[in-house]
């Protein structure tokens, strides 16, 4: 299994196929395992790269809470692309992975061919909703510390993961899931790369976020998948893969 070493922290990744690189990042408390269906469906034409964020599944869970942040996550993503020989890539992800894809583009627009934002949101401009989100992240962290891995979220994509450290997930909630400022949401109107915003019609929490991002990102394509919830790629894999392939063929052709 391939790993990169990030200052003594081993980060797991995998890549399948060849052609234009596509980096897929998972949601909070999920793992690269959630992208297995996309690796199988798209690797005939694309190099599909997925990975486990620090604190998740096969990657290490450092003890230091300071080792978990938006900046370290973006740096991990860049290092994985380097390990795969990909100077530029289509950057995509679901939920937390989608937010981190936006953060990656903000830090590395020159490395971003296009963006794929699945069942995700761009953060908050105002302090009050951001504080509520951070309160939720803190509650999740405490549940993991008090209940162990039984305190993890129950989503379909989460059930595929095989986590080893409840404390690692707790640190990730406080350092990576939590929001600090509005820099990502404020960057949306300046995005100049092709973007697809895809959401499951039953993902009630993130349908408004998808509407907002599609309106704010110039030229963004919005796709709503019927019969899908938060894990749209698992709930409706054929429709999801077809939408993604159409987008990739258009932006990399």
Q: Provide the CATH number for the domain around residue 113.
A: 3.40.50.1820
pLDDT tens figures, 208-239: 999 999 999 999 999 999 999 999 999 999 99
pLDDT attached to residue 160: 87
Q: Is-contact 119 61, C-beta < 8 A?
A: no
pLDDT tens figures, 189-203: 999 999 999 999 999
CA separation for the pair 102, 74 (Å, rounded):
10
Q: Which residues of the chain have pLDDT under 50?
A: none
Count of domains forming the chain: 1
pLDDT attached to residue 219: 97
In Å, the largest CA–CA distance within the chain is 50
pLDDT attached to residue 51: 98
Would strands 9-16 and 47-51 be described as parallel, antiparallel, or unpaired?
A: antiparallel
pLDDT attached to residue 156: 74
Residue 131 CB partners (closer than 8 Å, separation 6+): none
Domain membership of residue 187 as a residue range: 3-252
- Considering only CA atoms, which of 193, 198, 188, 191 is closest in space to residue 252? 193
Could you give the 3-state DSSP secondary structure of residue 154? coil
pLDDT attached to residue 159: 85
The whole-chain average pLDDT of the chain stands at 96
CA separation for the pair 97, 213 (Å, rounded):
15
Q: Say what the pTM is.
A: 0.97
pLDDT attached to residue 139: 95
- Give start and end residues of each alpha helix (H) in 90-229: 96-107, 127-147, 156-159, 166-172, 183-186, 207-216
pLDDT attached to residue 157: 81
pLDDT attached to residue 253: 82
């Amino acid at each position: 299994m391939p790993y990169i070493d990030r200052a003594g922290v081993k980060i797991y990744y995998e890549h399948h196929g060849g052609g234009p690189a596509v980096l897929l990042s998972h949601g909070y408390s999920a793992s690269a395992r959630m992208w297995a269906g996309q690796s199988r469906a798209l690797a005939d034409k694309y190099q599909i790269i997925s990975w486990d964020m620090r604190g998740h599944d096969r990657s290490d869970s450092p003890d230091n809470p300071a080792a978990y942040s938006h900046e370290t996550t973006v740096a991990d993503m860049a290092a994985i692309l380097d390990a795969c020989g990909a100077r530029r890539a289509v950057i995509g992800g679901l939920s937390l992975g989608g937010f981190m894809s936006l953060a990656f583009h903000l830090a590395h627009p020159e490395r971003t061919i296009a963006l794929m934002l699945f069942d995700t949101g761009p953060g908050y401009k105002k302090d009050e909703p951001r504080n509520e989100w951070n309160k939720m992240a803190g509650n999740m962290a405490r549940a993991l510390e008090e209940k162990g891995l039984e305190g993890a979220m129950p989503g379909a994509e989460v059930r595929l993961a095989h986590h080893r450290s409840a404390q690692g997930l707790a640190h990730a909630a406080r350092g990576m899931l939590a929001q600090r400022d509005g820099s990502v949401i404020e960057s949306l109107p300046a995005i100049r790369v092709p973007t697809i915003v895809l959401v499951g019609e039953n993902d009630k929490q993130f349908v408004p976020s998808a509407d907002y991002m599609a309106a704010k990102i110039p030229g963004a394509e919005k796709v709503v998948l019927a019969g899908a919830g938060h894990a749209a790629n698992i709930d409706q894999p054929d429709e999801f893969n077809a939408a993604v392939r159409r987008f990739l063929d258009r932006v990399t052709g």
